[in-house]
Amino acid sequence: MSTNTDHRLFELADRVLAIGRHLRALQESETQTCTTVESAVIRHITQNPGASPHEIAKATVLHSSNVARTLRALEEKGMVYREKHETDARRTRLFPTERAGQDLEDLHGVWRTALADIIEEPEVLDALTSSLARLEEGVAARRAARADR
């Protein structure tokens, strides 16, 4: 890989991380319900109702003990509830509550306000979103491959 490409990849990662820091700071100043980690877990459960704690840990790149602690906090806040797995009573499945849906809507509002009017062209937003999704999937796959070694 050329030095120019190395620099571009570094710059891309640096920008993605910087945007994440800015969004996280806005989230923490504008919403009081959830921490950043709790929001990541809630987003996963909302997108994957019935997910197991193991699936959540894997998807959010959190240690299982951190997921367990986060889930307890979210249950105490009334954001998630557990159900026993249909075929294996030792396993649980997690679901968002209506309150979690409202918290996620609040987060969408914070992010919408933060990003509005910066890039207005729908085709540019679609291309960026598609490219970032591809990057996320690729990085997650590489991380998972390394973990399997």
pLDDT digits (tens, 9 = 90+) for 62-104: 999 999 999 999 999 999 999 887 877 778 999 999 988 888 8
| Cα–Cα distance list, 50 to 7, 57, 80, 115, 129 (Å) | 41, 14, 11, 31, 26
User: What band does 31 get if pLDDT is binned at 50, 70 and 90?
Assistant: low
Taking alpha carbons only, the member of 104, 139, 118 closest to residue 17 is 139
Query: In the 8-state DSSP scheme, what is residue 51?
Result: B
What domains appear along the chain, each with residue ranges and CATH number? 3-118 (1.10.10.10)
User: Considering the entire predicted model, what is its pTM?
Assistant: 0.72
Reduce the DSSP state of residue 134 to 3 states and report it. helix
Query: In the 8-state DSSP scheme, what is residue 48?
Result: S
